[in-house]
Structures are given as C-alpha cells and as structure tokens.
Amino acid sequence: MTRAPCPTFIEAGEGDAAPLVMLHGIGSTAAGWRRHISAFGVGRRALAWNAPGYADSTPLTEARPHIDDYAQRLLVLLDETRIESAVLMASSWGSLIALAAAAAWPDRIRKLILSGPTAGYGGLSAGKRQQLMDTRSTRAQVIGIAAMLEADTPRLAAPQAAQSVLDDLAHAQRGVHLDGYLQALHAMVNEDALRTATRVHCPTLVIAGARDLVAPAQQHASLIHQALHASRFHVLEDCGHLPHAERAEDFAGWVRAFL
C-alpha cells in the first residue's frame, strides 16, 4: 500500500458553522466516524482524519514520537484543508492529541468534545511506563495487530452493545497498521493529559461510559474534566469505552446542544 505523505481524511458537508474535525482512537481509523460525519455534516464541514501511520497516512518520521508530534501534523491538516479554526471531536487516544492541540494553538481550536478519553500514562514511573510499553508492543508483534484488536474488542463496548456497533468497530480496525500503532502507543504511554488539560481554556464536553474497562471514567475522564478550565461532564450508564458509538443518539444530542 502506498501511503499519502500527509494525513488523509474523509469529509462531508459544508456551511458557515465551525468545521468539526474528528480524531479516532489508537485501535481505529477515520472509518470509525463515518456515521457521525453524515450526522454532523449539516451546515458545517465534518472531517475525520487518519492519524499518521493509520490507513493510508504515512507514519511519523520519529520512531518514538510524542503527542505533540501528532498535534503538529493535525495543524498541518488544518492548514492544508484551509480550516482556520475548528471544533475537535476525539475518541480515547485521539483525546490526547485534541488536548495538546488546544493547549498549543488556542486560536485554532474553538471547542473540544472528548468521548471515552484516556489521560495517558505519563504520570507513572519510568519503569512502569516501560513495562506497559513492552507488554503491549510485544503482544501486538507476536500475535499480530489484527488478531490483537479482535481479541480486545469485547473490552471496548458494554455487553449489551448492538451488533452494528461491533461491526462498525471491526470495519474501522482494518486500517490499523503495526508501525502506526506502535508509534501511537509510545506517545500515549508517555503523555500526561492531566498536565496538558490545565493549559486548555476552550469549552470542552467530556462524555464517558460508566462501564469503561479500558480507561475507567473515575481514573481518566473525571480527572481530565477536573483539570480543565471550562468543562461539562456526562457519564452514560451501561456504556463502555465508546460513548459516541454505543450511545450515538444520546451522544449526538449532547454534542448538538454543546455546539
């Protein structure tokens, strides 16, 4: 596969409202937002990127990148698509990039919407971070990224999640490559979103699932909400790590009110 030198994306809609740019999680791609692009692409541009190393986007040049490197590539995407300022909607790992971008370029990011956000693991000791990195990267390389993501799917959504949610998730996982995943993993393990959030002043909507096993709300979303300067926080019962997918109607209602 030939991958584009800059982040690729899918897009829909047009209008005068602030463009909405969607950032996927570490085990997903832009395809995970395809239903939301249609839903929110009314009266505004709605765009979902493939992060560097995902789908047909080239990996970052750094073997061990940091979240700021991804935020910089996001800024490149905004420039190339002529988006002067945007609302960022992010899932899980993508929330780390959204927070970093909002902290670094407050004039370019109007609002944030974080779905099942992770706080990263930069607050852990160096030894624990390395252990986490080694465990996850070894597993991905030994059994393969596709097999690993398939095996981990039951932990992402609550048990009662609709089959359509699981089907969409599987579709989005097809564009996850080992090189891109390992770079993203390094960035996530070494990022402390709680520290970054203290530098974010734009209005932010945080939505989490009460049954999130990947990034439990009390240890991740709740703490991010508390660190932010202007945040609203909602917890969805009987929902796992993917509020935007598992409870799409509730999620969309809160987002539209927030926008």
Place of tokens 């609550």: 158
Helix 178-189 / helix 67-80 crossing angle, nearest 10 deg: 120
Residues with Cβ < 8 Å from 87, sequence gap 6 or more?
Answer: 18, 19, 20, 21, 109, 110, 111, 112, 113, 259
**Angstrom distance (rounded) from CA 100 to CA 212:** 23
**Angstrom distance (rounded) from CA 213 to CA 134:** 21
What DSSP string runs through 211-228?
Answer: T-SSS-TTTTHHHHHHHS
Place of tokens 């991958």: 3
What per-residue confidence (pLDDT) applies to 41? 84
Residues with Cβ < 8 Å from 46, sequence gap 6 or more?
Answer: 11, 12, 13, 19, 20, 22, 36, 37, 38, 40
Task: Please check whether residue 100 is in contact with residue 90, taking contact to mean a CB–CB distance below 8 angstroms.
Answer: no
- As to burial, measured by CB atoms within 10 angstroms (0-12 exposed, 13-18 middle, 19+ buried), residue 93 is buried
Task: Please check whether residue 99 is in contact with residue 200, taking contact to mean a CB–CB distance below 8 angstroms.
Answer: yes
**Angstrom distance (rounded) from CA 114 to CA 245:** 13
Give the domain ranges of the chain.
8-258
pLDDT per position as a tens digit, 12-36: 999 999 999 999 999 999 999 988 9
Residue ranges, the chain, pLDDT below 70? 1-6
**Which contiguous run of DSSP H or E holds residue 34?**
helix 34-40
**Angstrom distance (rounded) from CA 37 to CA 30:** 10
CA 259 to chain centre: 19
Per DSSP, helices labelled H in 81-213 are 93-104, 126-143, 145-156, 163-173, 178-189, 193-197
Structure tokens belonging to residue 184: 């993203």
CATH of domain 8-258: 3.40.50.1820
C-alpha pair distances (Å), 113 with each of 101, 139, 165, 171: 13, 31, 20, 23
pLDDT per position as a tens digit, 139-167: 999 999 999 999 998 899 988 888 989 88
